[in-house]
Chain A
């Protein structure tokens, strides 16, 4: 009791002796493991994996040299062995090495109760076994099944108290698992909470018809711990957690620019995409997001770099076929082993299973780039939160490895900035390309705009692009007056401009001609004047000066 009081104060985490669980990701959250020689209570609903938690604590402990006792009130040792085998654990071998004992505590259904009783049998059996095998760990699974035998809360509490006293004296690192009642904590759960040094809650809930699993450490006497809810999954090998708080500080810096596969886009981005960046393509259906991503994929694979394409919308065959019409041959890259597809329906499993599957593939395939098509489909993994967690963890995993991530976000219509950035992950996104339609009379044209690009100067002008059978072709922006113009409007405006220029040229020419005409007229007038002057001179020399005016004029007009 004394040592327990000493550890009540916070901040002694480093000093507290811990028993590692060796469960993937869990020891990070527990800052080393469960409290050694003390009691941990794991509560959770049906199917949350409590039994597995306990069994893995013992199995991995046994593999690391700490013998353990498993007392099960719900499952037979044979069932446990079979379940463990599906996860690849060989319990029988460690049992033969006397490092694990599975004790069957199931109470037969035909059992009759008559009078008072206690769990002293359990304590005697556990004590004896502990001595025999020098056990360091114990798991009592589904303890609530045994507790239900006691008909008053008082006797139940007495039994728990006796159990707790015994566990403390035995010095075993203990895990007690209890099923959480549907309608909230029952009387014994509250008691558990007060006696446990460490309290872990496992929760398998169904969001949008998809099971998501969360683990939370509710308290840990004398130690610090991760306080969030952590998604976990049950996969080959056992439980697996993704502690997000322990990642994020190991992100690799952005690397050099790489060509996008479209030279004009490279110019817009100040040289192309940055290696290790997160690039988001947002746009309405049909704007060419997948094609834009595939253009890069083909480029990268052409350089011999590996790309993992995580698809939620279309099959591999459909994907390959769709971009083939735009001149992209992804099949060759698949055959060469440069391109790998991971295609699943979002609804097929929970977000954490999607995450672990993706990370498993990333670890095995070691891609330089990952495409997620489309993040808008991730909500179907079980809601907004599930989608957010999946993406955050996936992005973290990729950023740690310096993998470039391309996220495709299909917008539903509204084009608010929040929706474009997608799933509140915008802080993780380095570059956003926004693809949209520019409605024009009689047609709709595609335009591309760089919304944001960290760490590189970029153009913020909207560029029109067209999809040809040789891929995406970006046009020079129309840089005349007024709005960006696309398609026919742009052509019409350009024609108008051309005509205007011609009109002006004609105008000048016309004015020059006019000027010339005037000059000629002036010249003619001057010549006429000169002729008249000459005639006058002639007349003055042949007629008398007195009749000069009248005689001279009548002669001229005749």
Chain B
């Protein structure tokens, strides 16, 4: 838990009030992980105008954090803020499903 608390603190120090706080678990540069990283970057740009904190955790480097977050499947995107905490599994290619899970409307129409 220490590691988790520590990393969250870092994020908050960078930007005190992000609209979304996200954590993406990937496994190196395998195709689904690469795809998920690209998709998440695009979604943040298009729908949140960069108003989000994203931490990428590579489970091959940092398996401890994966244990902490009970991540056995990659890629996994965890929405840590706003509550409730949600998980989205996969390469994030189904954009509608990701937006719905984040509580966002399509094409920049914010709720």
Contact = CB atoms under 8 A, between A and B. Distances in A.
Given A103-B67, A120-B30, A124-B66, A112 B73 contact: no
Interface stretch (B10-18, B44-52, B92-100): B92-100
B74 A114 contact: no
Task: Report whether over half of chain B's contact residues are helix, strand or loop; otherwise say mixed.
Answer: mixed
A122 B87 contact: no
Interface stretch (A125-133, A187-195, A470-478, A499-507): A125-133
A146 B90 contact: no
Nearest to B35: A115
A258 interface: no
Contacts of B59: 120-121, 124-125
A108 interface: yes
B87 A121 contact: no
A110 B60 CA distance: 26
Interface string B80-97: 000010111111111101
A149 B70 contact: no
Given A104-B70, A124-B66, A115 B27 contact: no
A107 B90 CA distance: 13
B101 to A, nearest CB: 4
Q: How large is the interface on B (under 10, 10 to 19, 20 to 34, 35 or more residues)?
A: 35 or more
Contact of B66 (A73, A118, A121): A121
A115 B93 contact: yes
A309 to B, nearest CB: 53
Given A121-B25, A121-B76, A115 B92 contact: yes
A113 B30 contact: no
B72 A116 contact: no
Contacts, number: 114
A523 interface: no
A125 B91 contact: no
Given A105-B72, A125-B72, A149-B73, A114 B92 contact: yes
B32 A116 contact: yes
B4 to A, nearest CB: 14
B54 interface: no
A149 B87 CA distance: 13
Contacts of A129: 63, 67
B7 interface: no
Contact of A113 (B32, B66, B97): B97
A130 B56 CA distance: 24
Contacts of A120: 27, 30, 59-60, 74
Given A110-B84, A111-B88, A124-B60, A116 B73 contact: no
B46 to A, nearest CB: 16
A119 interface: yes
B19 to A, nearest CB: 19
Scoring B66, B67, B100 by chain A CB atoms within 10 A of each residue's CB, the highest score goes to B67
A139 interface: no
Given A117-B32, A120-B30, A125-B63, A112 B98 contact: yes
B73 A121 contact: yes
A120 B95 CA distance: 23
Nearest to B100: A112
Interface in A51-101: 71, 73
A71 B67 CA distance: 10
A199 to B, nearest CB: 24
Interface of B: 25, 27, 30-32, 35-36, 39, 59-60, 63-64, 66-67, 70-76, 84, 86-95, 97-98, 100-101
9 contacts: A103-B72, A114-B94, A116-B32, A116-B91, A121-B59, A122-B73, A128-B64, A146-B72, A149-B73
